[in-house]
Amino acid sequence: MKAVLEHDIIIHITEQGDTEIGNIPADKKGVGLERLRWTGTEIVDLADLTEMWIRHLGHDFFEFHAIPVPDAQRVSVSYGDRHRLVMNDGLLRLKTDEEIEAEGKTVLINLFKAELWRKQKASIGSLEEQLANAYKLIYLLLYYAKTGNQQINDFIDEILPEIKDTFPLIRIKDEIKQAVQDMNVFMKKYYQDLDQIP
């Protein structure tokens, strides 16, 4: 049986192939070609290997080989653990259990946040509607600061306890502090960039 190869990867099995690879072992006939490699002497299944030659293709993409190939690193890893691979400072390694757990927690938190935002939008309106309400509150505060209007004062007294319950200071002070620091850095660069425009 002949095949078209890219290094040891079996791209296609065809009579017009350039390499004779023999027959796929009987116990591997149900295995997809993406898992099979030609070592030059035999067909091997990546799932049977305890170490592989791996090329990092960028981001979270890797290419697995049974033989040395250019730009590949030899890594002790099972095919089942390939999802744990990460490139750090030019070296491939396996993520720790703690890193896997932290990533899983981040995914859950992001899903939870997305669901909360969906519920919030259904409950109190779109981001544009929420922003409009924020502008209304800012307007009332400015109007009260300028006029001391008693009706506005009474209204603020009425909603202030709910605002405190909604945004407890202990939860938001660090977030606001960080946001102010980030905005400070951003705005300084913003104005510097504006000043450089001819």
pLDDT digits (tens, 9 = 90+) for 72-101: 999 999 999 999 999 988 999 999 999 999
pLDDT band at 133 (very low <50, low <70, confident <90, very high): confident
pLDDT band at 47 (very low <50, low <70, confident <90, very high): very high
Q: Residue 59 region, left (φ>0) first, then alpha (ψ -120 to 50), else beta?
A: left
pLDDT band at 197 (very low <50, low <70, confident <90, very high): confident
Percent of the chain scoring above 90 in pLDDT = 53
Q: What is the mean pLDDT of residues 99-114?
A: 90
| pLDDT given for residue 116 in this prediction | 84
Query: Which residue is associated with the tokens 């259990």?
Result: 97
pLDDT digits (tens, 9 = 90+) for 170-181: 888 888 888 899
Distance, CA of 58 to CA of 62 (rounded, Å): 7
Q: What is the mean pLDDT of residues 33-56?
A: 94
